[in-house]
Structure 1
Amino acid sequence: MITVERNVLVGIPLDELVAYLADFGHAQDWDPGTVRCVRIDEGPLRPGATWHNTSRFRGRTTHLVYRLESGESHQLVFTGANKTVEARDVMRFESRSAAVTRLTYTASLRFKGLARLAEPFLRSEFEVLADKVAERLPSAARRHLA
């Protein structure tokens, strides 16, 4: 399994940041690996909501269905899967002030079958991707909420 974690200070109140990130469709704005992310069910954002995510990594396009497993005021948990990988994204939130939120973002990937053999070689590339998410997410959230 590959797990990466980043801590990011975001100049947005906690409840607004949680609401923004609860809609995983916004991943295409803050995750440089996500090409497209579209909700595939209807209704309010609540556990069970699902998105079709198209990502590009190492020149290959992959599709995962992501599901909001839990959505609380201080934590969101998403899981995604396809035939070669299972993903789990955990976002924990801590209010630092009325206008600043600390986000701890942990992303884990478990490859299936022969793809598991590539894990040691992919870890450094996922670390770089995590750095890019940490750079991009605060400005994407601010732009969206402006």
Structure 2
Amino acid sequence: MTPNDEVTITALIHALARLNKKLPTNVCNQLAAISDVANNTKQLEAIAMNYTDLALLYEEECDRLMAEGSDRKKGYLPKFERDDYSKELSNLAEVAEVIFHSPDPVNASKETLNPSRGGKLKQFFRQLLK
């Protein structure tokens, strides 16, 4: 998975969590139809951009992640050890598949990211983006 793939998946998960209503059935079906999330990020991006309510949030999340990534390149953020980074990226794809294949991806992303509901992915994303 490339860094751009990572940004696409992470941004979509965060955008879904910020959405205040359920996704239309056709959008849920499109997400569920993607069998290999890590290798189909262009499809994920197209789905996000074709649903107006999600598109704005997705673009905001992409911009935020790109800004944080730019800071990392400048040396402002700690770098990852190669083995930990590879493991975290594979976990990201697995978690994304669970979220995107759930009957309600918006609720699944909120539950995953919200530590007060027992979600552990928020800590994962914080460490990933440090």
TM-score (norm 1): 0.29
TM normalised by structure 2 equals 0.31
Whose helix fraction is larger, Structure 1's or Structure 2's? Answer: 2
Structure number having the greater strand percentage: 1
Larger radius of gyration: 1
